[in-house]
Structure 1
Amino acid sequence: MTTAQDLFVLGVETSCDDTAAAIIRRRPDGSCQILSNEVWAQHEDHAAFGGVVPEIAARSHVERLDSTIEKAVAVAGIAFDRLSAVAATAGPGLVGGVMVGLTTAKAIALAHDLPLIPLNHLEGHALSARMTEPAAFPYLLLLISGGHTQLIHVKSVGDYVRLGTTIDDAAGESFDKTAKLLGLGAPGGPMVEAAATGGRADRFDLPRPLAQRDGCDFSFSGLKTAVREAATNIESPSGQDVADIAASFQHAAARHLAQRTQKAMEILDPPIGNRRLVVAGGVAANCSVKNMLQKLCAANSWQLMVPPPKYCTDNGAMIAWAGAERIVAGMVPNPHDVMGLAPRARWPLAPHKDGGKLGSGRKGPKA
């Protein structure tokens, strides 16, 4: 579907520790122009604690979101009265942070009489490749981030089927924990990748999770345990030891992601129609992971699509774009329904293909 005029959408993203706002322009031909994309990272705020502290993240969003939005508006050169809508992450994520972004977006929508589009954070990632290059539906999505590792059949906007998910830890979490174990600092993913540059990926024989199991679910807890054992078995690890452990872990993680993705390809091929693999989320920026997936796609005659690194990590542009996609698809919610909407810590993007609730607990199915 096309629209007869340009859409200008403000996107607000506060699901974790990045305060982000952006304005995008969706042209009638379906192309996207990213007019601004402001991200205020909080790594230094959490460094002393070895991970993201929800209360600190929420307070930081309160302090920084207004100025981040003001800068996004100024850089874009688009006044509020020219906006078509406001899109904001409504979950899943750290509920305090999500509350800050969603409440701010509600205020902007009310003040300027704009439609408000509450979005699943994962949908922002799922549609992000379409923001930077043509990616016709349907396609297979590998979503790999700090809190999520999923394989999703993306049929169209709002129509998703989850083929596989992690049964324990997310890929990004395993990178973060490995970085912490090796004393590399934060953010974990880039630090592990940098340390692995001078390392030998074949020095440590790390496990192949779920290698004998059907389906395309993931597991990273065993890899984390194996890395801990490799590190503790060395009395005084040298810089080379650390590099070798990082390289071995990175290779094992990339191999696991590729092996389980191949299972999803087999499930969808040939019914999917388009042999297209889209990879999104922060871990998609890892070069070793991308190279492994590129080899997988080349061997199976699939096309690999990965957004630029700055749109793989959390950002406001992908939220704004997902909002524009929903406008074009006729999915603008009723204002009376969204103004009372509460933020959600858990919000699965897609039902499992077999109707199950993998990873469900007392609070409902995991994201």
Structure 2
Amino acid sequence: MLCLGIESSCDETGLALVRDGKLIAEKLASQVDVHAVFGGVVPEIASREHLRVLPVLLAELLLEQSLTAKDLDVVSVARGPGLQGCLLMGLNFAKGLVFSTGAKLVGVNHLWAHLTAAGLEQELQFPSLGLLVSGGHTHIYYIESPLKFTLLGRTLDDAAGEAFDKTAKSLNLPYPGGKLVDDFGRRGIVDKKMFPVPYINNDNLDFSFSGLKTAVATYVNSHPELRLGSMGIPESNSEPHEIVTARNNMLASFNYVVGRKLEVKIERALKRNSDVKSLIVAGGVAANSVVRKVMGKVAKRFSIPLVLPSLHLCTDNGAMIAYAGYLMASSGCRHDLNLEAIPRGRVVPCDWICD
């Protein structure tokens, strides 16, 4: 079975081919440079970029593999959640391919695809506990199979990834700032009292990061010397040593709080779901060094394996959509041309047709 995956939920245009569960080729067009000047993603611009590059990437992908669109058995596409206009670009492109080739159409839950992406590199064990940490979502799932996810906890306001980007922005670090926060934080020393670990003195599995964002903004406002004069990447030789050290210590302390917050909630979830066979951590923030280290320690304490996708599979990509589509199609699940895009804020329905 040859499955094409199409990812266009935000600012990455990804296409990939998975044959019988194995990734054979992929293409990715990033819009980071386009949106960096605005300090975040501009939906209208992102949609137009998807429309521009989708046919180009598909032509290149098929040509390099000596394939044609007629060779596709399945076309899987991220149908949500995401930016409505961006999702529609990918969805309509997928429908056109299906209509012209006769391939099966599969609409993929973008969030679930993140959590099954590691299956491209290793065998997944079920049931598993899944932690999705990204720019738009922070969710905990009980995963019984690639087609059955139960949401146990979610963020009540802001996602972890947004907290990273807003922290970077408060210091005039360029978008996307999560990697820079991680990189500079690794050079600093953690002060556990600098920021509070919010919303852990409760009995639920939900998250809240708005308080941490406010604490960071307050700290930076009271220490304006940490903010760069203009947007850019700080150079240690061009600033006083004490400012560089203080900024790195602040970012190290921020990373610590995020890691500690995730640790508390995941430990709580594992205690309540003692039958899980592994801990899966996915999404863009799963590339953060502190998060990976902390989750490794948690998994070790509970004597289960930690499943982490490779760094290139943590961010949005076509490979995860192709693999998730392959898993669904292999189980006899598909959609018809009435498939709808589901924007962020709405639950993606399990409305597939099973043959």
Q: Normalized against structure 2, the TM-score is what?
A: 0.90
What residue number does 2:329 align with?
327
Contact 2:126 2:278 in 1 (8 A): no
- What are the residue-to-residue correspondences of 1:307-322 with 2, within 5 Å? 307-322=309-324
Mapping of residues 263-302 of structure 1, within 5 Å: 263-269=268-274, 272=275, 274-302=276-304
Matched, 1:16 2:10: yes
Cα offsets for 1:16-58 (capped at 9, x unmatched):
00011011112xxxxx321112111111111121111111111
Per the alignment, residue 166 of structure 1 pairs with: 155
CA contact (8 A) 1:87 1:105 kept: yes
Identical pairs, percent: 37
Instruction: Give 2:250's match in structure 1, choosing from 231, 245, 249.
Output: 245
Aligned AA for 1:275? Answer: K
- Conserved in 2, the CA contact under 8 Å of 1:149 and 1:218? yes
Any unmatched runs of 5+ in structure 1? 1-6, 27-31, 352-367
| 1:341 partner letter | L
Distance 1:66 1:232, change over 3 A: same
Larger CA deviation: 238-247 vs 132-141: 238-247
Greater Cα offset, 170-179 or 123-132: 123-132
Deviations 1:43-98 (A, max 9, x none): 11111211111111111111111112222223344332222110001111000000
TM-score by length of 1: 0.87
Q: Secondary structure at the match of 2:333?
A: coil
Partner residue of 2:120 out of 127, 131, 134: 131
Does 2:25 correspond to 1:25?
no
For residue 312 of structure 2, what is the amino acid of its counterpart?
Answer: K
Q: Distance in 2 between matches of 1:125 and 1:344?
A: 17
Which whole-Å deviations, capped at 9, do the CAs of 1:271-303 have from their partners, x for residues lacking one? x2x431001111111111000111111122121
Which of 344, 359, 362 is equivalent to 2:342? 344
Q: After the TM superposition, which segments of 4 or more aligned residues of structure 1 sit over 6 Å from their partners?
A: none
Query: Counterparts of 1:58 and 1:349 in 2: how far apart (Å)?
Result: 20
Equivalent residue number for residue 41 of structure 1: 30
The answer on whether the counterparts of 1:282 and 1:314 sit within 8 Å (CA) in structure 2 is yes
The 2-side partners of 1:275 and 1:156 are apart by 12
Corresponding residue for residue 256 of structure 1: 261
CA offset at residue 349 of structure 1?
A: 5.1
What corresponds to 2:217 in structure 1?
Answer: 228
Asked which structure has the greater RCO (Cα within 8 Å, sep 6+), the reply is 2
- Partners of 1:350 and 1:243 lie apart in 2 by 43
Q: How far apart are 1:181 and its partner, in Å?
A: 0.8
Deviations 1:143-180 (CA, angstroms, capped at 9, x unpaired)? 11111100000111321111110011001111111111
Contact 2:7 2:316 in 1 (8 A): yes
Q: Whole-Å Cα distance in 2 between the matches of residues 77 and 175 of structure 1?
A: 42
* 1:204, distance to aligned residue in structure 2 (A): 5.1
Backbone CA RMSD of aligned residues: 1.6
Answer yes or no: is the 8 Å Cα contact 1:23–1:73 preserved in 2.
no
